[in-house]
Amino acid sequence: MFTIVDRRLNPSGKSLANRQRFLRRAKEQVMRAVRDASAKRGIRDIDMGGDIAISPDGIREPTLRRSATGGQRDYVVPGNKEFLSGDKIKRPPSGGGGGGGNQGSDDGDGQDEFRFVLSREEFIDLFLEDLELPDLAKRKLAVTDAMDWHRAGYSVAGSPANLNLVRTMRNSLARRIALHRPTGDEIKALRQEIDDLERTGSDRERLEQARLELAEALKRTQRIPYIDPVDVRYNRFAATPRPSAQAVMFCLMDVSGSMTEHMKDLAKRFYMLLYLFLSRRYKHVDVVFIRHTHRAAEVDEETFFYSPETGGTVVSTALEEMARVIKERYPPAEWNIYAAQASDGDNALSDNTKTAQLMTDVILPDCQYYAYLEVGQEGMMPGLPYGGGPRETDLWRTYKQIRAGGALAMRRVTERKEIYPVFRELFARDKAGQPAEVSA
């Protein structure tokens, strides 16, 4: 007697709740490990899950165990080859190895670090914890110019194109039956009978009666219409406003000679983060790469990051290019527009006014958020908060003047490990619902 049960279709992930408890418990360590890991990782791997090693503090499970060292111990071990009783043996170096027969299986408590795998979702969730997009709901969730139309039952009024024939005819049939409208066949039969009677002239009385019946039937037919306006039904469509789930992210970068590989790498990481962040919030994220020297062009990712270019530096060209792309492909009513600009701060002196004007008049009104990241040479001004002074760059000074609205944030970064804090700061959840203002 036995039963066999197929449990394969039972929901898996029974231990999910335990896992969540574990992550919550080890949150601090896991967060730190995630930050470390993301700093070390290659750009393209950042949104993958993977191995995480955390220190076992806080997730130890202590028990009352006898110490593994000291005292008198007895081991019984298999595989004697040369020993005779009374022989002396050197103690194995760490106390494990040769002896230790009565130690239970190591349950991980003795290990220096605890390794496990985070799924992609968990990794990114922790990575982006407590960040919030600025003004996310501001535009698209309120504006209803993008509509979805859904069928929503029937209505008695509508345009002829939406006439629902089946419904209409069904109503009409029901009404005709209820009101005893003579059918075409009945009238035809009467006419036939009258014809026959007239031709033979046999039964006058019946002929008379049939004529009366026919007249009555025709009268009813006229009084009761085949299709009455009350029968008519139209397909009804209801409109629901569709929150825009698409965003476009503009990556602007100065690629002139003064930008070193290190600076580009910093910028890359920032874009990476921004992309990750946006792709968590929006269903669809487009990325547009615009690089500029003294002229700007929209390029693909490969060219953007790796293709060399020489020339002067005119920032307004990039802004013009961006404005053109927005106009052509990304109407601000339908797209959430984000921009991140990375530069070493150089700009042609004559261009500053134009840049400022473009920003205030064209770019900023269309953007949800515009982040300006000034990248510095490694080791330069380490940790110095950029607070004015003689070394303020042209671009910084220009942007500082127009930074009145909330949409423009600026920050200076010189080292890779600063990227994440800066990013967090730029996008930190703010009590007022506004992105935290960057002190300059």
Residues that bind another protein (CB under 8 A): 1-8, 10, 12-15, 17-26, 51, 59-81, 83-91, 97-103, 105, 108-109, 114-117
Cβ atoms of residues 253 and 293 within 8 Å:
no
> Which residues make Cβ contacts (< 8 Å) with residue 382, sequence separation at least 6?
414, 415
Whose Cβ is closer to another protein: residue 58's or residue 311's?
Answer: 58
Distance CA 236, CA 153 (A): 5
Q: CA nearest 92: which of 110, 105, 113, 73?
A: 73
Whose Cβ is closer to another protein: residue 74's or residue 328's?
Answer: 74
Cβ atoms of residues 297 and 322 within 8 Å:
no
Whose Cβ is closer to another protein: residue 87's or residue 185's?
Answer: 87
Determine which helix (DSSP H) or strand (DSSP E) holds 288, and give its type and residue range.
strand 284-292
User: Whole-number minimum distance, CB 290 to another protein, in Å?
Assistant: 41
Whose Cβ is closer to another protein: residue 74's or residue 185's?
Answer: 74
Distance CA 337, CA 317 (A): 19
User: Whole-number minimum distance, CB 43 to another protein, in Å?
Assistant: 24
Q: How many degrees, rounded to 5, is the angle at CA 403 between CA 399 and CA 405?
A: 150
Q: What distance separates the 2 farthest-apart alpha carbons in the chain?
A: 144
User: Whole-number minimum distance, CB 8 to another protein, in Å?
Assistant: 5
User: Whole-number minimum distance, CB 95 to another protein, in Å?
Assistant: 9
Q: CA nearest 294: which of 222, 346, 244?
A: 346
Whose Cβ is closer to another protein: residue 79's or residue 387's?
Answer: 79
What the block records as the tokens of 212 is 């009366």
Whose Cβ is closer to another protein: residue 82's or residue 185's?
Answer: 82
Q: CA nearest 375: which of 409, 412, 408?
A: 412
> At 229, is the secondary structure helix, strand, or coil?
helix
Whose Cβ is closer to another protein: residue 79's or residue 308's?
Answer: 79
Give the N- to C-terminal CA distance of the chain in Å, as an integer. Answer: 80
Q: CA nearest 220: which of 247, 248, 184?
A: 184
> Which residue, chain included where needed, has tokens 């049960």?
5
User: Whole-number minimum distance, CB 9 to another protein, in Å?
Assistant: 9
Find the radius of gyration of the CA atoms of the chain: 40
User: Whole-number minimum distance, CB 27 to another protein, in Å?
Assistant: 11
> What backbone phi and psi angles, to 5 degrees, belong to 296?
-120, 155
User: Whole-number minimum distance, CB 120 to another protein, in Å?
Assistant: 14
User: Whole-number minimum distance, CB 91 to another protein, in Å?
Assistant: 6
Whose Cβ is closer to another protein: residue 101's or residue 405's?
Answer: 101
User: Whole-number minimum distance, CB 44 to another protein, in Å?
Assistant: 21
Whose Cβ is closer to another protein: residue 27's or residue 329's?
Answer: 27
